[in-house]
Amino acid sequence: MTEVGGFPALRLRRLRRTPALRRLSAQVRVDPSNLVLPMFVKEGIDAPLPIASMPGVVQHTRESLRKAAVEAVQAGVGGLILFGIPAQKDARGSASDAPDGIVQLALQDLAAEVGEQTVLMADLCLDEYTDHGHCGLLTDSGDVDNDATLERYASIAVAQARAGAHMVGPSGMMDGQVLAIRAALDGAGYPDVAIIAYSAKFASAFYGPFRDAAECAPQFGDRAAYQQDVARSVDEAVREALLDVAEGADIVMVKPAVGYLDVVRRVRDAVDVPVAAYNVSGEYSMLEAAAANGWIDRDRAIAEMITSIKRAGADIVLTYWATELATTLRRV
């Protein structure tokens, strides 16, 4: 048969026939330079600590962080984003903007080591630093005080910029956070420090392993009052992203990624800045667990997962596989 419905037979399959043809005609490509590696650095430890719920991921010392950062950069990873675990926590997250806070010290280390070769990012939130585990300051009734929290975010942004961050990532989902941070950075003489805004961050069950890694599980309640409801329309996520762009965000982010590819696509279509998507800890851990049990082909599944995020429209992907993927891609 030479025709199907008036079209030449096999016209769709011709470019699928061999690996070389598939590579040549691929329309979605994962490039190491578009990957960002999330990294955890913990104060007061003398050796890296494995995270049981995230096989292959550790809480770093400052020294092991430097080594892992060099490895990532040499593999071609485009950026690194730091999350800090302080030795002491309090109600206002004092270590988050202290000059000798763990992230500030780690940023100084990496700025000296790889600062000219990669993009240094710092997560900007309070949950890792507060003794209650919420993303902001609390009122007497236990609610997060949006406006008081913005003042803390502004101070953290300046501290991170001063320590060497090229980009800060406000992840607390406070209203007006990008505007407050942009004003603080500009006012402190850091107009060139960029903002990667966690614009559409959902109250997801897939953050569990991250909370082990960052030691930031809420001590009471949850974060549903300020993170987005998973059952809300995509329109709300788009609105959040557009508001962040209007307030000065240089990049907007969707988190999680895999369960929210529809959001990634809609945000990509709506904004004129790069779109990032965070391949979160739960997505990482469930794939690793399935692979460890022999249920899936690990390498193929990783490549498929990240490619699907890119195909949905993400320009940048934050993933714990960044170094491994970049190394593999450079061999191809």
Instruction: Give the residue numbers marked as catalytic.
Output: 201, 255
How many other β-carbons are positioned within 10 Å of the β-carbon of residue 198? Answer: 25
Are 133 and 216 contacting, i.e. CB atoms less than 8 angstroms apart? Answer: yes
With H, G, I as helix, E, B as strand and everything else as coil, classify residue 80.
strand
Nearest Cα residue to 151 out of 121, 123, 172: 172
Yes or no: say if 177 and 170 are a contact pair by the CB < 8 Å rule: yes
Sign of CA dihedral 216, 219, 224, 226: negative
In DSSP terms, which residues pair with 274 in a beta bridge? none
Residue 96 token pair: 């988050």
Cα separation, 188 vs 160, whole angstroms: 12
Q: Is 207 exposed, middle or buried (0-12, 13-18, 19+ CB in 10 A)?
A: buried
61: DSSP letter: P
- Taking a C-beta distance cutoff of 8 angstroms, is the pair 327, 74 a contact? no
Bridge partner residues of 80 (DSSP): 37, 120
* The pairing of beta strand 3-4 with beta strand 7-8: antiparallel
Tokens of 42: 């913990």
Question: What is the distance between the alpha carbons of residues 3 and 313, in angstroms, rounded to a whole number?
Answer: 34
Location of structure tokens 């800060």: 168
Where helices occur in the chain by DSSP H, the ranges are: 19-25, 62-75, 102-114, 146-163, 177-187, 208-214, 234-247, 261-270, 281-292, 298-312, 322-331
